[in-house]
Chain A
Amino acid sequence: RTPMAIQNKFLRVTFDPDTGLMSGLSNLKTKQTIKLTQNFYWYNASDGNNSASDQPSGAYIFRPNSSTPFLISKTAQTESVQRPGVQEVRQRFAPWVSQVVRLYAHSRAVELEWTVGPLPIDDNLGKEVITRLDTSIKTSQYFYTGLKRPRDAAEEQSEPIAGNYYPINSRAFIKDDVDQLTVVTDRSQGGSSIYNGSLEIMLHRRLLYDDVRGVAEPLNETSDVFPEGLVVRGRLLLFLDRPASAADTYRPLAQKVVLQPLLTFTDGDLQPNT
């Protein structure tokens, strides 16, 4: 069963018991709460057979053939694990999409450990998978990747989704006057805020056509380990804060992700001089 909530001394994460999805996030210190729904979607990659342009989506170019991504699942099957140091809600959205929502006892951020792949291509559709966070934060057309990113900045916006994607190296956030939701990533990803109050991050892509920029092959990653298609696992760290103080949290958090401890192991007893 999905727990109603997991919480530590900093954060409270609530879940919708009917869907198994996250439903809200609170900062217990600042006593602020937002509605927050998180789910996984995929954009159907353009194959290039299009009246506007014959440009397919590929290793370089993101060109969805529709601005509306497909929802992978309305609900998640969940399983909950509660331990003294950590609380987890394990969510399964599809055979190829799952996630662990994890709150460590001393963490200021909730961890979303996502596992995506192998992306199915038996329908002959290239897929570009995102996770999207839809919140009650009243943003206007801006989101932030370090720089302030306006929606539809180009004079003539020919691609309402792709033309609003920006590189995210370590963090992205959306905010209004009182609430800021920040996401710290563990790798560089693309992302955007397509709707007010919404933040999306691209996690994995699998494409069937080359995008004609020289590489001359579709981005279709397989290997001996992943013969059915690459499976990727990563983490997003999420937290809620006041806009004025959020940087005090995300800067050290982003540094901790990059400069993380290196664990080494040795067999047997530790000698005093080892």
Chain B
Amino acid sequence: QSRSCGYESCHPTKHNMLNVHLVPHTHDDVGWLKTVDQYYYGDRNDIQHAGVQYILDSVVDQLLKNPDRRFIYVETAFFYRWWKQQSAAMQQTVRQLVNEGRLEFVNGGWCMSDEATTHYSAVIDQMTMGLRFLNETFGPCGRPRVAWHIDPFGHAREHASMFAQMGFDGFFFGRVDYQDRSRRMVKKEQELLWRASDSLTPPSADLFTGILPNGYNPPEGFCWDQSCSDPPIRDDPDLEDYNVDEVVEQFLTVAHNQSLVYKTNHIIMTMGSDFQYENANLWYKNLDKLIRYVNALQANG
């Protein structure tokens, strides 16, 4: 079985151009408006439309359709529930996706923990529980490289310290104080090295930290989940409302504007949101086209 997960599985980039990293993801709260098991099964959709079992089914199916596609998954509490219901054949298929870096786990804890009210020992317990499952199930290829706290309401230094000590290389989050964010955007300080301990010898508690561009949502106009109503890419000139040129131009504008508030020629776009990808085809079909048409411009310079 071939293994090229982790950093080896990264797509090539272009060093003399702006690289936009599209990161398809689903933010699956381990209980919020519904219980964890209601979210898993998609029960009580009258409260909130959300069914994680369908999300994982759908994403795996779409990843198999195109080896260039990537997905990150975060909450092991849900993944564990899904995994134990899969057939041996499906488990083998998913192992292959993980081994090839097409399905990548980030964070990897049982949940995405709160950082304000949690005790450090409980955080370690829940992270260990999730990471242990991933390790036992997928081995080294199941090991997350970055921590992913896109939704917690503020961030504690101790959390960054723990993530650094767990061996994470990076940490991404979405929620910071609005005045802090404004200043960081102006000064291009949305990416930083967080020294998370006064007592540990550097670099033991140093963690690369990135503040995401739009919380954890896609840029405006580019949400192609079934829960969104942004226009799809209509690329057949024989049909009505051909919009490829328009979408490409809009994307270049968004990417350019975003690049102005980050330091390098690599920027991230979080293509997903709460309980998205229940019908992953909608997302991937449009993302495939977006990538194809935007990159096609490079051929012309």
A residues bordering B, Cβ < 8 Å?
A: 60, 146-147, 154-156, 167, 169-170, 188, 214-216, 258
Contact = CB atoms under 8 A, between A and B. Distances in A.
B179 A258 contact: no
B117 A156 contact: no
B119 A167 contact: no
A146 B116 CA distance: 12
Nearest to A190: B116
Sorted nearest first, the 7 A-B pairs with minimum C-beta distance are A188-B117, A167-B116, A155-B179, A154-B179, A169-B119, A167-B117, A147-B157
Contacts of A170: 119
A214 B121 contact: no
Interface of B: 32-33, 116-119, 121, 153-154, 156-158, 177, 179, 183
27 contacts: A60-B153, A146-B158, A147-B157, A154-B177, A154-B179, A155-B179, A155-B183, A156-B179, A167-B116, A167-B117, A167-B154, A167-B156, A169-B117, A169-B118, A169-B119, A170-B119, A188-B116, A188-B117, A188-B118, A188-B119, A214-B32, A214-B33, A215-B32, A215-B33, A216-B33, A258-B119, A258-B121
Nearest to A187: B117
Contacts, number: 27
B150 to A, nearest CB: 15
Contacts of B183: 155
A258 B122 CA distance: 11
A60 to B, nearest CB: 7
Contacts of B121: 258
B217 to A, nearest CB: 13
Given A147-B157, A188-B116, A188-B118, 4 more contacts: A60-B153, A155-B183, A169-B117, A169-B119
Contacts of A188: 116-119
Nearest to B48: A214
Contacts of A60: 153
A258 B118 CA distance: 12
Contacts of A216: 33
A188 to B, nearest CB: 4
Nearest to A216: B33
Nearest to B182: A155
Nearest to A167: B116
Nearest to B156: A167
Nearest to A254: B119
A150 to B, nearest CB: 14
A146 B179 CA distance: 24
A166 to B, nearest CB: 9
A215 to B, nearest CB: 7
Nearest to A170: B119
Contacts of A156: 179
Contacts of A146: 158
Contacts of B154: 167
A75 B300 CA distance: 81
Nearest to A188: B117
A147 B179 CA distance: 21
A214 B32 CA distance: 9
